[in-house]
Amino acid sequence: MLHRLFYQRVFPTLLLLAIAHPLLAQQNENSLLDETLEQLSTDDEEPNWEEELEELAQRLQQPLNLNIATRSDLEQFPFLSDLQIENILAYVYLHGPMQTIYELQLVAEMDKQTIERLRPFVCAEVVPEKKRFPSLKNLFKYGKQQVLTRLDVPFYRREGYRKKYLGTPFYHSLKYSFRYGNRLQAGLTAEKDAGEPLFALHNRKGYDYYSAHLLLHNVGPFKTVALGDYRVSFGQGLVISNNLRLGKTYSLATADNRGGGINKHSSTDEYNYLRGAAATLQLTHTLLLSAFYSYRKMDGTVKNDTLTSIYKSGLHRSQAEAEKANAFSMQVVGGNLTYEHSSLHVGATALYYFMNIPYEPNLRTYAKYNLHGNRFYNVGIDYRYGWTRMSISGEMAAGTQGYAVINQLQYHLSPEYRLMLIHRYYAHNYWSLFARSFGEGSTPQNENGWYVAAEATPTARWSFFASADLFSFPWWKYRISKPSQGVDVMCRALYKPSSSLSMYVTYRYKRKERDVTGTGGTEIHPLYHHQARYRISYSLPHLELRTTFDYNHFHLQDSAASQGYQCTQLCSYHFAFPLQVSLQGTYFSADDYDARLYVSERGLLYTFSSPSYYGRGFRLSANTRIDLGKHLMLIAKFGETIYQNRSTISSGDELIKSNKKGDLQLQMRLQF
């Protein structure tokens, strides 16, 4: 009934609202981040971007004051190079506080494009920095509170709900946060995934997942103090990194990995975080000491007092999944000592972690060198040094088994021309449960490669990017029954004749190797994957129009090639009153899963959606946001996928006996 009502009344109303007013528009200030996340979402293991999107959104409401910003504050913006960060800090030190952010034009190496990207997130206020921690009275008087809740309603039924799934098909989350500038952040997160019971069965205490955090900055000699759930990242991530790692995209700046130190964990990601206490102590002007401890009960499969697998999804819908909850405990203790002076940074990180029962997964041939046991350690030394237009950085790490090395060189011929070279060697037997760094694989293990990239902006209207990654795997990989190698080439040309019109074309070519299906690994052939995209965007103070064409060509040698293409049209309108409406339609056609297509669309706050499609069909979505004053915001998003060449969707417990899949997402934010 609700499904029919949407098509008969709601959808036509939204369409009329979108086209009934003059076409004026607003440029999306997060376009760089959107483009980057969209590209990274084509990886097989899509990460959770909630934490990073929330932090950048907070910066839009409370911009960073450049006159009191530190190096670590500026390093959170991936589009700023080390040289640009150094020059901003030097400018404020030599010339005093900036009177306006447009003084950034006077900072060496700052180009117009980078200034435009940075402008929404910063300000220039000539105010004395408050060294003392605020009183309890001022905390509650000037602190900002927020309640954010979300409800997803599916208009379909999966097979799992007939016999296995114990809860309702609705997804629900509730988040409360308190923030006093950058000095104090606290919050509570609760979540129930679709299919999980609420206040019943194994969730008698309410939600399936709870998370709480408290983060303090500049408290006496402590630069940072974290209690509850938190994230840690140091160096290039070869020892530990829970933060966002951008990696290979169509932007040279995003390939630069930086350690973020200690940060809060407030997202609904149920795996990638630590729980306990952490602190960073300012020993001297140039020396920082960090220490952290974590104790967590984690999900997994236990057989005969042995952990056979670690369960990362956080789903507890069926009895079998519920039995994996809190199956084992893990303790983590570690620290970092960092020396920073001028352009020199040197850090040492150590990590020790152990489980209460031994971890002995089924180590198939391709995974025979993977981590197993119950006590592990990792240690590493990272460095960064810059002079004039050149900077070098890297990290060397060793673990209970194996070692890993990454080194990076950046050279700025001018603000308009940049070069980057990265070499990494990750031993086939390097054990690192918490490491995440630059590479072709999802973890820094069993990989050797050279990555070179160049970025050029010869004119204000044109910019170009090109990169090539030559990589090899010393040992077997999943579906590759021998040591192998490959190449990944990316290029992009962007044309922006005016502030309202831009277009770009991208091309990506990847060659790898794969076992031929049905041969048991005795036959291995190269595979060739070509991807091309053309996108044109037009925006005015209130209107944004965006058209995207994608083409995929996938070919395994001596096998038939598969192809896929899609066309997407987005229309987003911001009315004079506080209402925003986005409509998007996609037609896709892909021969098989290898030629699948990824289509991103506007979602709820702090979320990014880029699902994949194969087969032939349509995807339609409508997103409406209403801001009622400064305190209340409501978002409603409806989307439906219609397949033309199938009568069912997915398989197993996820099977939907229909060619249609529709869902409604609702979100409310209350600020006070």
Write a three-state SS string for 402-437: CEEEEEEEEEEEECCEEEEEEEEEECCCCCCCCCCC
Angstrom distance (rounded) from CA 478 to CA 105: 50
Counting other chains too, the contacts that 111-116 makes at CB distance below 8 Å and 24 or more residues apart are 111/415, 111/416, 111/457, 112/460, 113/457, 113/463, 114/79, 114/80, 114/84, 114/415
Q: Please tell me the predicted confidence (pLDDT) of residue 604.
A: 87
Encode 449-481: b = buried (16+ Cβ within 10 Å), e = exposed.
Answer: bebebbbbbeeeeebebbbebebebbbbbeebb
Q: What are phi and psi of 516, to 5 degrees?
A: -75, 125
Calculate the CA dihedral of residues 308, 314, 316, 319 and round it to 10 degrees: 0
Nearest Cα to Cα of residue 374 among 422, 447, 306 = 306
Q: Which residues contact 465 (CB under 8 A, 6 or more apart)?
A: 250, 251, 252, 453, 454, 455, 456, 490, 491, 492, 494
Q: Please tell me the predicted confidence (pLDDT) of residue 558.
A: 87
Q: Which residues pair with 410 in a beta bridge?
A: 391, 420
Q: Which residues contact 383 (CB under 8 A, 6 or more apart)?
A: 345, 346, 347, 392, 393, 394, 395
Residue 409, both tokens? 């060189």
From residue 511, alpha-carbon distances to 444, 490, 526, 527 in Å are: 20, 12, 7, 6
Q: Which residues pair with 366 in a beta bridge?
A: none
Whether 659 and 643 have beta carbons less than 8 Å apart is answered as yes
Tokens 């697998």 belong to 309
Q: Which residues contact 51 (CB under 8 A, 6 or more apart)?
A: 231, 243, 244, 263, 264, 265, 266, 267, 269
List the beta strands (DSSP E) in 427-483: 447-456, 462-473
Could you list the mean pLDDT of each consecutive 10-residue stretch along the chain, which spans 672 residues? 39 33 34 56 56 70 82 78 83 87 86 81 74 75 92 96 94 95 91 95 93 93 95 94 74 67 92 96 94 97 95 94 96 96 92 97 92 96 90 95 96 88 97 94 93 93 95 94 95 93 96 90 93 95 94 93 97 91 96 93 81 94 93 95 95 95 96 91
Angstrom distance (rounded) from CA 472 to CA 247: 17
Q: Which residues pair with 229 in a beta bridge?
A: 275
- The residue type at 549: F
Angstrom distance (rounded) from CA 471 to CA 441: 10
Angstrom distance (rounded) from CA 80 to CA 492: 20
Residue 541, both tokens? 């103070």
Counting other chains too, the contacts that 368-375 makes at CB distance below 8 Å and 24 or more residues apart are 369/401, 369/402, 369/428, 369/429, 369/445, 369/446, 369/475, 370/431, 370/445, 371/400, 371/401, 371/431, 371/432, 371/433, 373/400, 375/400
Angstrom distance (rounded) from CA 483 to CA 92: 52
Q: What is the length of the chain? A: 672
Q: Please tell me the predicted confidence (pLDDT) of residue 127.
A: 64
Domains of the chain, CATH where assigned? 1-26+540-672 (no CATH), 30-129 (1.10.150), 197-434 (no CATH), 457-537 (no CATH)
Stretch (H or E) spanning 367 = none
